[in-house]
Structure 1
Amino acid sequence: MTHVEQVNQKRRGRRAAGEDTKAALVAAAREVFVEKGYDGATVRAIAAKAGVDAAMVNHWFGGKEGLFAQSVLQLPFDPAEVLKRVLDGPVDEAGQRIVRTFVTVWDATGGGTFAALLRSVTSQPEVAGALKSFLVNAIFKNVLVEIGSEQHELRATLCATQMIGLGIVRYVLQFEPLASTDAETVARTVGPNLQRYLTGELD
Structure 2
Amino acid sequence: MSDRTGAEGPRRRGRPRAEDSVGADRRSRILRSARTEFADRGYDKASVRAIARGAEVDPALVHHYFGTKERVFEAAVETALAPLRQRLGRLRAVPPEELGEQVTGFFLGVWENPDTREPLIALVRSAVNNDTAARIFRGVVTRLLLPRIAGAVDRAERELRVELAVAQLVGTALLRYVIRIEPLADADPRELVRRLAPVVQHHLLGPEADAAGSDAADGSGAGTDRF
TM-score, scaled relative to structure 2: 0.57
Q: Give the equivalent residue in structure 1 for 2:51.
A: none
Q: Give the equivalent residue in structure 1 for 2:190.
A: 184
The match for 2:65 among 50, 59, 62 is 50
* Structure 2 counterpart of 1:114, one-letter code: L
CA–CA distance in structure 2, aligned partners of residues 76 and 108 of structure 1 = 12
Q: Give the equivalent residue in structure 1 for 2:169.
A: 163
Q: Give the equivalent residue in structure 1 for 2:23.
A: 20
SS in 2 for 1:146: coil
Any gaps of 5 or more consecutive residues in structure 2? 6-17, 35-42, 44-62, 67-72, 210-227
The match for 1:83 among 74, 81, 88 is 88
CA-to-partner distance for each residue in 1:7-28, whole Å, 9 max, x for gaps? xxxxxxxx92115335437848
Query: Structure 1 residues 154 and 20 mapped into 2: Cα distance closer, same or farther (>3 Å)?
Result: same
SS in 1 for 2:129: coil
CA–CA distance in structure 2, aligned partners of residues 133 and 118 of structure 1 = 13
* Structure 1 counterpart of 2:77, one-letter code: V
* Structure 2 counterpart of 1:182, one-letter code: D
Bigger radius of gyration, 1 or 2?
A: 2
Percentage of pairs with the same residue: 22
Query: Structure 1 residues 21 and 188 mapped into 2: Cα distance closer, same or farther (>3 Å)?
Result: same
Q: Give the equivalent residue in structure 2 for 1:44.
A: none
**1:113 pairs with 2:133:** no
Q: Give the equivalent residue in structure 2 for 1:197.
A: 203
CA-to-partner distance for each residue in 1:41-67, whole Å, 9 max, x for gaps? xxxxxxx9418xxxxxxxxxxxxxxx9
CA–CA distance in structure 2, aligned partners of residues 161 and 19 of structure 1 = 39
CA contact (8 A) 1:122 1:128 kept: yes
* Structure 1 counterpart of 2:19, one-letter code: A
Any gaps of 5 or more consecutive residues in structure 1? 3-14, 35-47, 52-66
The match for 1:93 among 98, 102, 105 is 98
Q: How many residues align?
A: 160
CA–CA distance in structure 1, aligned partners of residues 24 and 88 of structure 2 = 27
